[in-house]
A and B are shown apart, each in its own frame.
Chain A
Amino acid sequence: MNGDVGLPAFLLLGALMFVCGAVCMATKRNAIGVLMGVELVLNGANINFVAFAWFNPLFRVEGQVFALFVIVMAAAEAAIALAIVLNFYNNHTSVDVDAAEELKG
């Protein structure tokens, strides 16, 4: 059904989300903004998995299984990252990543 869309289109969309996430991680000063970048990266990779599940006959179940595992692990990682950010906020009253330099040097 998606033969006319083609696999490269989905892969390019996944790549776009990945790159947006990477740039987000690099440029946001708010720690939660960095976390949003991580979510975008994981979603970009997931699009790749599910696209391969559709287009490759041998990967029909595996692609979806992988995507589900990634979703679950991303949820776990977001929870921990947020707990760390909240602890940092409680101790330094700031979520600016530039303020997290006590371990520097």
Chain B
Amino acid sequence: MSLQQALFWIVASLTGLSALMVVLTQNIVRAAAWLLFALAGTAGIYFLLGSDFVGAAQLIVYVGGTLVLVVFGVMLTAQGPFVNLKAGAGEWAFSLLIGIALYATLAVATLATAWPASDPPPADYRSTANVAALGEAFLGIREIAPVGDIPRVYPPRNRTRVSYLLPFEIVSVHLLVVLIGAAYLARAKRRRVVSEAAA
């Protein structure tokens, strides 16, 4: 077993185990803790797959942002009876059955497909050049033209790089709008003044 296999099995076992424990644990706060490990394990998988930027983004956005939000929500609502809410045994049995069937389908589809042999990524996959390529894709830089050379308006056929500037901008504005909406929805509402009843 090589080092990469060993690392993969360690990180994948941690992630899978944490995901299973999120489902199986009854206490909602402990489920949040297991979710933290699952998300951090996923970030580890991204680092193993050479996507340093996505791994760091996962840590800072998901673990440091979304999960903090979820845990705050849990703290705000974790009064006595809501910490341990149990579903009935029938629901569990049915859901587990469906879950196992779904996993079996996905596993069979994955293992039965003849994946084409792929070239290993280049040796500099983890280097700064890769991060720069990601940044250029987001900025919409398709080609670096020499000064004075105006690129054609319509994309030439042999263009190899794609621009993700438009979805990037849409997602940014979308995030802004959604967060403003969420903050407005979750604002503290003033109680009605009780003196109306006394008057």
Contacts and interface: CB of A to CB of B under 8 A. Distances in A.
Query: A and B touching (C-beta < 8 Å)?
Result: yes
Interface of B: 2, 4-5, 8, 12, 15-16, 19-20, 22-23, 28, 31-32, 35, 38-39, 42, 45-46, 48-51, 53-54, 57-58, 61-62, 65-67, 69-70, 73-74, 76-77, 82, 85-87, 91-92, 94-96, 98-100, 102-103, 106-107, 110-111, 115, 118-121, 125, 130, 133-134, 137-138, 161-162, 164, 167, 171, 174-175, 178-179, 181-183, 185-186, 189
A87 B53 contact: no
A16 interface: yes
Nearest to B92: A27
A67 to B, nearest CB: 5
Main secondary structure of the interface of B (DSSP, over half): helix
B34 to A, nearest CB: 9
Nearest to B160: A58
Contacts of B137: 61, 65
B106 A18 contact: yes
B172 to A, nearest CB: 8
A25 to B, nearest CB: 9
A29 B133 CA distance: 44
Contacts, number: 234
A100 interface: no
A80 B19 contact: no
Contact of A17 (B8, B16, B70, B178): B16
Main secondary structure of the interface of A (DSSP, over half): helix
A57 B119 contact: yes
20 contacts: A1-B120, A1-B121, A2-B48, A7-B118, A16-B19, A23-B99, A37-B22, A40-B35, A43-B39, A47-B45, A50-B46, A53-B51, A60-B121, A68-B53, A73-B171, A75-B65, A77-B178, A79-B178, A80-B182, A83-B181
Nearest to B120: A3
Ranked 4 nearest A-B pairs via Cβ: A83-B185, A15-B106, A29-B85, A20-B19
